[in-house]
Structure 1
Amino acid sequence: MIEILEEPVGNTYRQLISLAFNICDEFILVKRDQIELSKNSELLIEELNPYVKAMKKQEEWPGTRLFGHYADVYYFDCKPELEQLLIHKAERLYQWKQPELLEDLCFYKDKEEWLITVAHENLGFIKTTVREEILRIREIEGIMIY
C-alpha cells in the first residue's frame, strides 16, 4: 500500500484523478446523515444523480467504520463526464468532505480498493502492486508518496 504523504492539490490532484479514471472502473462518494449538507453539496447530488449506479446504506466503507450510524454510499462507473465533474468540483483530494461536498472519494479496480481517502483525517492510500501503476503514480508532478 502506498501512503500519500502530502495532499494532492491543483494540477497534482487533477492528474491523480485522471489516472484513477484511467486505471479504475468504479468510485464511491459518501453522504453521512449526521452531517448537514450545504447548498453546494445538494447541487452536487443533483448533478451526480443521473450517474448513480447504486446507493447503499452502509456503516463502513474503505478507511471508515461508523458505530450506530449509517451513511448513503453512492457507487458510480468511471465515465469521462464524471472525471471532469470531480476535477471541477474540487481543487484538492481531501476537499471531499461534508458539508461542502460529499465524503471520502474512493476508487475501485476490479472490485478491489485502489485509492482510499479518509478526508476528515487527511489520509490517502493507493493499494497497488502493479509496477506500471506505481511508475505512473510516481510520474505525477508534486505527488508525495511513501
Structure 2
Amino acid sequence: MKELLEEPKGTTYKDLLEVAFSTCDEFLLVKRDQLDLNKNAKQWIEEIKPHIKEIRRQDAWPGTTLLGHYADVYYFNCNQELKEVLIRKTERLYQWLQPELLEDICFFKNGKEWLATVAHEQIGVIMTEDENEIEKIRGIKGIKMS
C-alpha cells in the first residue's frame, strides 16, 4: 500500500499517531536553515531536547530534496511520552510547519519509510505492505486515502 492522505485532523489525526507510534520505531522532524523559528517553536525544542536521539545536517529527507540548502533533521525514538507531547502540540498532520513548529514529520519502521509528509504541499503518504497495519489504518474513523 502506498496511499496519499487527505489531511487527518482532530481524532482522526490522533488515531493515526496511535497507529504510527505502535507500528514504527523512529520518527523525524526538520528545521530548515532558510526559515526562522518563532519563540513558541524554540521553547518546544527545549521541551523535547531530552528525547532527541540525533540531529543530522541533511539536504534531503523523505519527500524533500533541497537544492543548495541544508536543514537540521531531528531523529527521535517512538515512545509513549513523545506521542503524548505531539498530541498536545498539534491537531492535524500538516500543521508541522515553521515558524511555529519543526517540519515534515516522517515515521520509520525498521529503517524504512512508513509515513512521509511534505507539510507545505499538504502531502502525506503511508507506505506499508503489512496487512495488519493496512487494516489498522483503514479502521481509523475519518481517514481518507487516494
TM band (smaller chain): over 0.9
Which residue pairs with 2:125 in the alignment? Answer: 125
Say whether 1:87 aligns with 2:87: yes
Instruction: Find out whether 1:139 has 2:139 as its counterpart.
Output: yes
Residue 98 (structure 1) shift: 0.4
Query: Which whole-Å deviations, capped at 9, do the CAs of 1:81-120 have from their partners, x for residues lacking one?
Result: 0000111100000000101100000000000000100000
Gaps of 5+ in 1: none
What are the within-5 Å matches in structure 2 for residues 1-146 of structure 1? Answer: 1-4=2-5, 6-146=6-146
Per-residue deviation, residues 99-143 of structure 1 (Å, max 9, x unmatched): 110000000000000010000000000000111111100000000
- 1:2 touches 1:128 (CA, 8 Å); kept in 2? no
Supply the AA of the counterpart residue of 1:133.
E
**TM-score scaled to structure 2, two decimals?**
0.98
Q: Secondary structure at the match of 1:100?
A: coil
Q: Displaced runs of 4+ in structure 1, greater than 3 A?
A: none
SS in 2 for 1:99: coil
Cα separation, 1, equivalents of 2:74 and 2:61: 11
Query: For this pair of structures, how many residues does the alignment match?
Result: 145
**Identical positions, percent:** 57
Alpha-carbon RMSD across the aligned residues, in angstroms, is 0.6
2:103 maps to a residue whose letter is E
What is the rounded CA distance, in whole Å, between the counterparts of 1:48 and 1:56 in structure 2? Answer: 16
Runs of at least 5 residues in structure 2 that lack an aligned partner in the other structure: none
CA–CA separation in structure 2 for the residues paired with 1:3 and 1:34: 27
SS at match of 1:54: strand
How far the C-alpha of 1:2 sits from its partner, in A, is 1.4
Counterpart CA distance in 1 for 2:140 and 2:38 is 32
Counterpart Cα distance in 2 of 1:54 and 1:62: 17
Deviations 1:65-88 (A, max 9, x none): 000100000000001100001111
Letter in 2 for 1:32: R
Normalised to the residue count of structure 1, the TM-score between the two structures is 0.98
| Separation of aligned partners in 1, 2:32 and 2:16 | 25
